[in-house]
Structure 1
Amino acid sequence: MEAIQRRINSRALQPGEKLPSIRGFAATMQVSPSTVVEAYDRLAADGIIYARRGSGFYVAPLTQPFAVAKVGPQLDRSVDPFWVSRQSLDAGADTLKPGCGWLPAEWMPHTQMRQALRSLGRAEEVLLTDYGSTQGAMNLRRLLARQMMDEGLNLGPDQVLLTPSGTQAIDLICRFLLRPGDTVLVDDPCYFNFQALLRAHQVHMIAVPYGKNGPDTDHFEQALIQHKPSLYITNSALHNPTGASLSPQVAHKILTLATAHDMVIIEDDIFAAFEPTPSPRLATLDGLQQVIRVGSFSKTLSASVRCGYIAARPDWIEALVDLQVATNFGGPSPVASELIYSVLSSGSYRKHIETLRDRLAILRSDTAGRLSELGIIPWLMPRGGFYLWCKLPDGVDSADLARAALADNMVLAPGNVFSVPQTMTHFMRFNVSQMQNPQIFELLEQALAEVPTCKGTGNGFGKD
């Protein structure tokens, strides 16, 4: 009964679809046919399936609620992407959040935001009340296109689509390109919400080991040959969670393989502004043929004023516009777009970003030193950004450490949250911007002393 219910919940069995035959399912489950008959009869009594005389059993034509968390392996909630996200987002003001994925509120450009809000208060009524255009505000799209042209990516504003957020940009592309049962490549480790989103699209995820210069190209090629994925999702610059950046050699190899195997790449460029100098970008090298770039402003400007963007070839943008109209009736809020444009186009924003880079450079070094004193060693020192991907002391399970920390009102991001094959047991991601409270290091030391240790630390990670 549970096996059939799982298939229905995950949409592997659709309403009206025929269930496996009694004898066939009995062989699959290694039980007697009479056991399957009883299970089917009970499910039919509950209205979940129904019988057709002489034909078999079918899924009842009822709306079945879809639980994203039930798709894929049922992980311990302390290492579940949904658990970490919900703990971070719902945390109170007194909660310590070294595992969250954003900067402290006081670091953001409040003065510029308030000035822009005052200006919006004097805007025409249409901006404050009407829907936005289907592709998003032209002034912000022009600004983004100019910025990307400065990087060497030749495009116009017609190749930029604004979306309600960066996550919704990826969701829109997945709706456009994927069907349930498709295969998608991700990095191991990768940003945990990539996994959460892909689960919702009911696709198969194949993980490729990620090293200090990018994905392992040998494993990458093997995965393309064996699994024939239709999509690869990654961060090229300041990869989440590792902080690594692509080398030119790896970038060219990845693009060559993607072209040869007709695979599309989503390049999430959300951390680009934190780099002191730009590293190779797949979208720039590819010219938006096989690569789609997405981004947003939640990390550098505001996570409250949501707006994302997609840069892609013109025919894909046209199709994505129609899809966004169908699912969201247009792009992001015109008020949000205008507010973001006002701040981005001011000279003060550039100074804000420079201040962030300098401040984070100091914090990365200081935090790495304090963590090292506890036996928590950074895997590498990133060129920028606010993450440190760290190896825990021998035998310490990051999930156990996260449980112990949560009891002390501190949210951590354990390694297996970022790993589809669960190979990151002894790693932890730390946000250095959220670690200025000395109590964090005291609680970490206390938790390390309390958690049990186990023999063996092999995890298949760390290939350069």
Structure 2
Amino acid sequence: MILFTPQRQAPDGRTLVDQAADAIEQAIQDRILRPGMALPSIRQFAHDHRLSTFTVMAAYNRLVACGRLQARPGIDYRVARREAARPSAPAWQMPQVGPAWLLSDVFADHSVSIKAGCGWLPPDWHNEAGLQHALRQLARVPVGQMASYGHPLGYQPLREHIADHLGGYGLESAAGQILLTHGATQALDIVIRTALRTGDHVAVETPCYANLLRLLALNGIVAHGVPRTPEGLDENVLEALARAHPLRAVFVSSALHNPTGASFTMAGAFRLLQLAERHDLLVVEDDVSRELLQEPAPLLTALASTRRVVYISGFAKSVMPSLRVGYLLCDAGLLQRCAQTKMSLGLTSAEIMERAAYRVLRDGRQGAYLRSVRERLGQAHDQVCQMMREADFEIAVEPGAGLFLWARPRQTPAGPQGAVGLAARALQAGIWLAPGAYFYPDQRDEGWFRFNVAYSANPALWAFFRKAAAAGA
């Protein structure tokens, strides 16, 4: 059953997942696929349409989430039966825009076609061959080897691989200094819970990673914003804060910063570390996007040491978000306490996922895959920056690499809601935006948005902004 012809570079910017889901939806509406009918298996649909199984799985699961398909795990997918007596609910209802929306609803709803504000690579960009090979290898591991909770620090071969890999960046470490976690965000949470106490003061970049702000607030930590500059942080502001408040730590992203895409220069890195030394500040380096760099950027932990810096990273950007494997690297004393915190929060991390990540990283395909992703992201940056200039947008930094651009319309949205209000109206048009207000401790709204370049080349996105500007939004 051939339902459509995939377009690898669709004129309207739709991904292959979008195209597959739309084709199945249309077939259901046209009664080609009737209630209760079984769809082709994921493998068969992928073969018939020359798609990856990951693409088909994402399309099927999207339609399950929308209520159009019903999944019978391990058996099949069928067209959902509609009960005549029950009024049909809409496939998607617009959530209330707010910080919780950015941190939860944006992950929960898969029906919006333009995800310009999301924080991940498109599903069909992932290393399918490497992932499938890793999962096949993992399936041959005797269950007895994976039946226990695993080591508190995490799967040792992966920790050894990480230590070897970081050595290539000049960061000398050992497996015993590395703690594996349930993603990099959990690593941040563990460090906050372990190294800080309720009421402590810390410095964060402005703008900064939105989840970090929520983690600090949940733990009762007072966050002070320090402007991000082209070289790193505004040291004058940080110096003034360190003199005015009992700062304990500073949280930074050294490479391809989320949300601006900027990276530290060597001069900026040295000035920050010198300031941290003068004021005895713990530096927490969030470095999840380094593998997407086109050009090298300073690694703070390599320039200083784990006595001064805690290093955090993960594989959501370089392997796949759903693996949920992250890690932290720090000195022995803090690491032991972090391991205790991890065990208190949820015992060990998922060794089966750590094994899968290890096999992907050790597979010979990963290097070529990352080179391809960097090239595609570079092309996306060029394209989206051009579209932004044509739409009269101000771009804070043009990194040419990584996922993100930080930009705003030169005609700042009018009204008390500003960019947040514009994001709410965008949802009505099927567009997810990430307003800049959610990346500031004080939630200031200066009209900025975070754009994911891999999802932002859709002409409909920029048509929306032009229409909003023409209407004096």
Q: Report the secondary structure of 2:215's partner residue.
A: helix
Contact 1:400 1:451 in 2 (8 A): no
Deviation at 1:425, TM superposition (A): 1.5
Please give the per-residue CA displacement for 1:331-352, whole angstroms capped at 9, x wherever unaligned: x211101100000111210111
Deviation at 1:293, TM superposition (A): 0.4
- Trace 1:309-458 onto structure 2 (pairs within 5 A): 309-330=327-348, 332-396=349-413, 397-450=418-471, 452=473
- Trace 1:232-381 onto structure 2 (pairs within 5 A): 232-330=250-348, 332-381=349-398
Task: Please give the alpha-carbon distance, in whole angstroms, between the structure 2 residues aligned to 1:365 and 1:436.
Answer: 10
* Matching residue within 193, 196, 208 for 2:214: 196
Deviation at 1:424, TM superposition (A): 4.6
Q: Report the secondary structure of 2:321's partner residue.
A: coil
For the structure 1 residues 191 and 350, does the alpha-carbon distance in structure 2 shift closer, same or farther, using more than 3 Å as the test?
same
Contact 2:383 2:457 in 1 (8 A): no
Contact 2:180 2:326 in 1 (8 A): yes
Task: Please give the alpha-carbon distance, in whole angstroms, between the structure 2 residues aligned to 1:307 and 1:197.
Answer: 18
Number of the residue aligned with 1:85: 103
Q: Report the secondary structure of 2:226's partner residue.
A: strand
Contact 2:253 2:285 in 1 (8 A): yes
* TM-score normalised per structure 2: 0.77
Q: Report the secondary structure of 1:238's partner residue.
A: coil
Contact 1:404 1:451 in 2 (8 A): no
Task: Please give the alpha-carbon distance, in whole angstroms, between the structure 2 residues aligned to 1:315 and 1:177.
Answer: 11
Deviation at 1:440, TM superposition (A): 2.1
What letter corresponds to residue 205 of structure 1 in structure 2?
A
* Matching residue within 128, 141, 148 for 1:110: 128
Q: Report the secondary structure of 1:372's partner residue.
A: helix
Deviation at 1:77, TM superposition (A): 6.2
Deviation at 1:219, TM superposition (A): 0.5
Task: Please give the alpha-carbon distance, in whole angstroms, between the structure 2 residues aligned to 1:355 and 1:267.
Answer: 26
Please give the per-residue CA displacement for 1:51-100, whole angstroms capped at 9, x wherever unaligned: xxxxxxxxxxxxxxxxxxxxxxxxx963x432212231122234321001
For the structure 1 residues 383 and 373, does the alpha-carbon distance in structure 2 shift closer, same or farther, using more than 3 Å as the test?
closer
What letter corresponds to residue 231 of structure 1 in structure 2?
A
For the pair 1:219 / 2:237, whether they are aligned, the reply is yes
Deviation at 1:251, TM superposition (A): 1.1
What letter corresponds to residue 271 of structure 2 in structure 1?
K
Task: Please give the alpha-carbon distance, in whole angstroms, between the structure 2 residues aligned to 1:318 and 1:285.
Answer: 23
Please give the per-residue CA displacement for 1:150-200, whole angstroms capped at 9, x wherever unaligned: 111111111111111111101011110111111111111111111111111
Q: Report the secondary structure of 2:216's partner residue.
A: helix
For the pair 1:205 / 2:223, whether they are aligned, the reply is yes
Number of the residue aligned with 1:124: 142
Q: Which runs of 5+ in 2 are unaligned?
A: 1-94
Task: Please give the alpha-carbon distance, in whole angstroms, between the structure 2 residues aligned to 1:451 and 1:123.
Answer: 61
Task: Please give the alpha-carbon distance, in whole angstroms, between the structure 1 residues aligned to 2:237 and 2:154.
Answer: 39
Deviation at 1:423, TM superposition (A): 4.1
Contact 1:405 1:443 in 2 (8 A): yes
Task: Please give the alpha-carbon distance, in whole angstroms, between the structure 2 residues aligned to 1:94 and 1:423.
Answer: 26
Deviation at 1:387, TM superposition (A): 0.8
Task: Please give the alpha-carbon distance, in whole angstroms, between the structure 1 residues aligned to 2:111 and 2:96.
Answer: 22
What letter corresponds to residue 363 of structure 2 in structure 1?
S
Task: Please give the alpha-carbon distance, in whole angstroms, between the structure 1 residues aligned to 2:466 and 2:343.
Answer: 51
Largest Rg, 1 or 2: 1
Deviation at 1:436, TM superposition (A): 3.7
Q: CA RMSD in A?
A: 1.6
Task: Please give the alpha-carbon distance, in whole angstroms, between the structure 1 residues aligned to 2:129 and 2:299.
Answer: 32
What letter corresponds to residue 252 of structure 2 in structure 1?
T
Number of the residue aligned with 2:172: 154
Q: Which runs of 5+ in 1 are unaligned?
A: 1-75, 453-464
Q: Report the secondary structure of 2:116's partner residue.
A: coil
Deviation at 1:383, TM superposition (A): 4.3
Task: Please give the alpha-carbon distance, in whole angstroms, between the structure 2 residues aligned to 1:291 and 1:239.
Answer: 17
Q: Report the secondary structure of 1:230's partner residue.
A: strand
Shifted more, 440-449 versus 215-224: the winner is 440-449
Task: Please give the alpha-carbon distance, in whole angstroms, between the structure 2 residues aligned to 1:423 and 1:280.
Answer: 30
Deviation at 1:382, TM superposition (A): 0.6
Task: Please give the alpha-carbon distance, in whole angstroms, between the structure 2 residues aligned to 1:438 and 1:129.
Answer: 49
For the structure 1 residues 426 and 128, does the alpha-carbon distance in structure 2 shift closer, same or farther, using more than 3 Å as the test?
same
Task: Please give the alpha-carbon distance, in whole angstroms, between the structure 1 residues aligned to 2:231 and 2:419.
Answer: 24
Task: Please give the alpha-carbon distance, in whole angstroms, between the structure 2 residues aligned to 1:91 and 1:121.
Answer: 30
Task: Please give the alpha-carbon distance, in whole angstroms, between the structure 2 residues aligned to 1:92 and 1:315.
Answer: 43
What letter corresponds to residue 308 of structure 2 in structure 1?
Q
Contact 2:112 2:432 in 1 (8 A): no
Contact 2:387 2:457 in 1 (8 A): no
Q: Report the secondary structure of 1:304's partner residue.
A: helix
Task: Please give the alpha-carbon distance, in whole angstroms, between the structure 1 residues aligned to 2:345 and 2:435.
Answer: 34
Task: Please give the alpha-carbon distance, in whole angstroms, between the structure 1 residues aligned to 2:314 and 2:288.
Answer: 6
For the structure 1 residues 398 and 94, does the alpha-carbon distance in structure 2 shift closer, same or farther, using more than 3 Å as the test?
closer
Number of the residue aligned with 2:189: 171
Deviation at 1:388, TM superposition (A): 0.9
Deviation at 1:300, TM superposition (A): 1.9
Q: Report the secondary structure of 2:420's partner residue.
A: helix
For the structure 1 residues 271 and 248, does the alpha-carbon distance in structure 2 shift closer, same or farther, using more than 3 Å as the test?
same
Please give the per-residue CA displacement for 1:5-31, whole angstroms capped at 9, x wherever unaligned: xxxxxxxxxxxxxxxxxxxxxxxxxxx
Task: Please give the alpha-carbon distance, in whole angstroms, between the structure 1 residues aligned to 2:472 and 2:363.
Answer: 49
* Overall identity of the aligned pairs, in %: 29
Contact 1:120 1:339 in 2 (8 A): yes
Task: Please give the alpha-carbon distance, in whole angstroms, between the structure 2 residues aligned to 1:277 and 1:388.
Answer: 17
